[in-house]
Amino acid sequence: MGLPNARKEFEDLRQLVPGVYEAAGAMSKAINASGVSSHLLELAKIRASQLNGCAQCLGMHLNNARAIGMDPQKLDLIAVWPEAGIFDEHEMAVLRWAEVLTDLVGNEISDDDFAAINAQFSEVEVAALSFAIAQINFYNRLGNAYRMSPPRHHPAMM
């Protein structure tokens, strides 16, 4: 059951425009098959969802992160990652890249930003991370437009 202020839930949209969800699922499969760690992909999705204020996506990806055993302290401190002092170089590069690709209004993706992510990851990994961030931004916009309800916590995590 959705929240009272939800305009539509994802399943409602899925039924309105058949095939889009399946196409997005195929994209997710390709990203997941790229070899990029699921921990890094979840970090990127969580950070973008925080920046975009998407409760549905943030809740879902925090649940996913818990389910794959991500460090709870890191999950708690993603919003303040530059000051936290607990993220490694790869994690910080992913979090920064998620911010750069998410906050495009009035911001240019600089050569320094591009060089920084490429210094930490292969060309394939950068492409996969970029696709994952683009995809979560797609979902965040739907979640915000329709005020989709955040998921409940997984029972094993309560």
Going by C-beta distance under 8 Å and a sequence separation of 6 or more, which residues neighbour residue 67?
154, 157
> What integer pLDDT is reported at residue 112 of this predicted model?
95
Q: How far apart are CA 146 and CA 12, in angstroms?
A: 10
Q: What is the pTM of this model?
A: 0.88
Name the residue ranges covered by the structural domains of the chain: 10-157
150 has a pLDDT exceeding 50:
yes
Write the pLDDT tens digit of every residue in 30-82: 999 999 999 999 999 999 999 999 988 999 999 999 999 999 999 999 999 99
| Architecture category of domain 10-157 in CATH | Up-down Bundle (1.20)
Pick the more confident residue, 4 or 18. Answer: 18
Q: How far apart are CA 135 and CA 38, in angstroms?
A: 15
Going by C-beta distance under 8 Å and a sequence separation of 6 or more, which residues neighbour residue 135?
24, 27, 28, 31
Going by C-beta distance under 8 Å and a sequence separation of 6 or more, which residues neighbour residue 54?
139, 140, 143, 144, 148
> What integer pLDDT is reported at residue 14 of this predicted model?
78
157 has a pLDDT exceeding 50:
no
> Is 129:121 a contact under the CB 8 Å cutoff?
yes
> What integer pLDDT is reported at residue 6 of this predicted model?
64
Annotate 126-138 with b (16+ C-beta within 10 A) or e (fewer).
Answer: bebbbbbbebbbe
> What integer pLDDT is reported at residue 100 of this predicted model?
96
Mean pLDDT of 139-143: 88
- 3-state DSSP call for residue 69? coil
> What integer pLDDT is reported at residue 147 of this predicted model?
79
Write the pLDDT tens digit of every residue in 102-139: 998 888 899 999 999 999 999 999 999 999 999 999 99
158 has a pLDDT exceeding 70:
no
Q: Report the sign of the C-alpha dihedral through residues 42, 47, 52, 54, in that order.
A: positive
17 has a pLDDT exceeding 80:
yes
